[in-house]
Amino acid sequence: IFHTQDIMLSERCLLRHFSSTGFWGLVNNAGISTFGETGWLSMEKYEKFADVNLLGSIRTTLAFLPLLRKYKGRIVFMSSIIAYFTLGNGIYSMTKAAIEKFCDALRLEMKKFGVQVCIIQPGNYARFTKIQPPVSAEEIWNELSDEEKAVYNKEYVQEWANFFNSILSEGSTSGNEVVDAMVDALMSPAPKARYMVAKLKEKVLVFMCALFPTVVMDSVLSYGLSK
Name the residues annotated as catalytic. Answer: 92
Summary count for the chain: helices (H), strands (E): 11, 4
Chain mean position to CA 47: 15
Three-state DSSP state, 134:
coil
* Strand ranges across the sheet with 74-78: 25-28, 74-78, 116-122, 194-197
Give the burial class of 195: count Cβ atoms within 10 A of its Cβ; 0-12 exposed, 13-18 middle, 19 or more buried. buried
Q: What is the DSSP string of 42-53?
A: -HHHHHHHIIII
Strand-strand pairing, 25-28 and 116-122: unpaired
